Amino acid sequence: MRTIDMSGFQFFGLLLNVIFIDLLLAGDNAIVIGLAARNLPPETQKKAILYGTGGALLIRIAATIVVLWLLQVPWLLLVGGVMLIWIAYKLLVDQEDHAEVKAGTTLWGAIRTIVVADAAMGLDNVIAVAGAAQQHLILVVLGLLISVPIVVWGSTLFIKLINKFPWIIYLGSAVLGYTASNMITEERKLEPYFTEHPALRILFVATVMAGILLTGYLQNRRAISSRKKAVLK
């Protein structure tokens, strides 16, 4: 893990990047929170959401700290970058069904469902946030502390915003692509080569971002075409 040695502008730029990525990838988690607490009385729902999200936040911070530590191991920064490329692509094309999320019938049952489901679904977020924070722990913690309350209280609004402006998803995937390619170029075994050839680094980053957006766009076009054909049959 790195110590903070950057200007205030760089710090807040990275922090905004962490918050944006966490919000972008937290839509599914917000849906799970709502589904897990849907059968509880309104006054109990608030407690379930608050306590469940708090427990999930602690697990998320602990998991991210572990990932930050693992990224110091040779070649794992490369592995994390490759995984993040897949996450960026999946963000564009993946449509998950949450019907299997069991609604809790008691306060602690709902809390348990929220915490377990968030931990199971949180790997994408953890890797993405660790990469976006450029391995600075303070940025990870601050980003999560800011974004999680937004997810809890403003998730519906954010999801509606994404549905109304689909380009936000493409922007998010581009940011993840940049983060992923940047992680790969910062791998200690590869960094000297990219430092010696800055033009190659720029070309690599641009190629990764363009590749993610193009393959995601083409896959979405095929999916839309397939659905139209199915309706016409």
In this prediction, residue 105 carries a pLDDT of: 67
Q: Tens place of pLDDT for every residue, the chain, 233 residues? A: 555 556 677 788 888 888 888 777 766 666 666 666 767 787 787 777 778 778 877 887 888 888 888 877 888 888 888 988 998 888 788 655 554 555 566 778 777 777 776 666 666 778 888 888 877 888 888 887 877 776 666 555 665 677 788 888 888 889 889 989 988 998 888 989 999 999 999 999 999 999 999 999 999 888 888 877 777 76
Answer yes or no: are the C-beta atoms of 181 and 209 closer than 8 Å.
yes
Answer yes or no: are the C-beta atoms of 201 and 191 closer than 8 Å.
no
In this prediction, residue 208 carries a pLDDT of: 96
The distance in angstroms from the start CA to the end CA of the chain is: 56
Nearest to 139 by CA among 17, 27, 26: 17
pLDDT (tens digit per residue) in 74-121: 888 888 889 889 988 887 886 555 545 555 667 787 777 777 766 666
Nearest to 132 by CA among 117, 119, 147: 147
Nearest to 121 by CA among 157, 164, 151: 151
DSSP secondary-structure letter at 211? H
Give me 213's structure tokens: 């957006």
Answer yes or no: are the C-beta atoms of 68 and 131 closer than 8 Å.
no
In this prediction, residue 56 carries a pLDDT of: 77
In this prediction, residue 212 carries a pLDDT of: 95
DSSP secondary-structure letter at 1? -
**Which residues 6+ apart lie within 8 Å of 185 measured at CB?**
191, 194, 201, 204, 205
Give me 73's structure tokens: 């191991």
Burial of 176-205, coded b for 16+ CB within 10 Å and e otherwise, reads: bbbbbbbbbbbbeebeeebeeeeeebeebb
Neighbours of 221 (CB within 10 A): 10
